[in-house]
Amino acid sequence: MSRNYYITQPGRIRRKDNTIYLEPEDAPRIPIPVEDIDALYFYGELDLNTKLLNFLAQKKIAFHVFNYYGYYSGSYYPREYLNSGSLLVKQVQHYEKPAKRMVIAHEFVASAVFNMLRILRYHTNRGKDCSTQIKTIEKFLAESQSAKNTNELMGYEGTIRDTYYTAFNTILQLKTPFEQRVRRPPDNPINAAISFGNSLMYPACLTEIYRTQLNPTISFLHEPGDRRFSLSLDLAEIFKPLIIDRIIFRLFNRGQLNESKHFETKVGECYLNEQGRKTFIGAFDEQLKQTVSHRKLKRHVSYQRLIRLECYKLIKHLVGMETYQALRPWW
- Which CB contacts under 8 angstroms, 24+ apart, belong to 168-171? 170/123, 170/128, 170/129, 170/130, 171/119, 171/123, 171/128, 171/130, 171/249, 171/253
CA dist 233 and 222 (Å) reads 7
pLDDT tens per residue, range 85-94? 899 999 999 9
pLDDT at position 103 over 70:
yes
- C-alpha distances in Å from residue 217, one per residue of 88, 116, 142, 152, 195: 11, 26, 29, 21, 22
Tell me the pLDDT band of 259, cut-offs 50, 70 and 90: confident
- Nearest Cα to Cα of residue 114 among 249, 250, 238: 238
pLDDT computed for residue 227 by the predictor: 67
CA dist 271 and 195 (Å) reads 9
What integer is the mean pLDDT of 310-322? 97
pLDDT at position 177 over 90:
no
pLDDT computed for residue 178 by the predictor: 83
What integer is the mean pLDDT of 166-176? 87
Whole-model pTM: value is 0.92
pLDDT computed for residue 115 by the predictor: 97
Tell me the pLDDT band of 329, cut-offs 50, 70 and 90: very high
Q: Is 148 exposed, middle or buried (0-12, 13-18, 19+ CB in 10 A)?
A: exposed
User: Which run of H or E residues covers position 75?
Assistant: strand 72-76
Beta 263-266 vs 269-272: how paired, if at all?
antiparallel
DSSP 272-295: E-HHHHHHHHHHHHHHHH-EEEET
CA dist 279 and 261 (Å) reads 12
CB 189 within 8 A of CB 270: yes
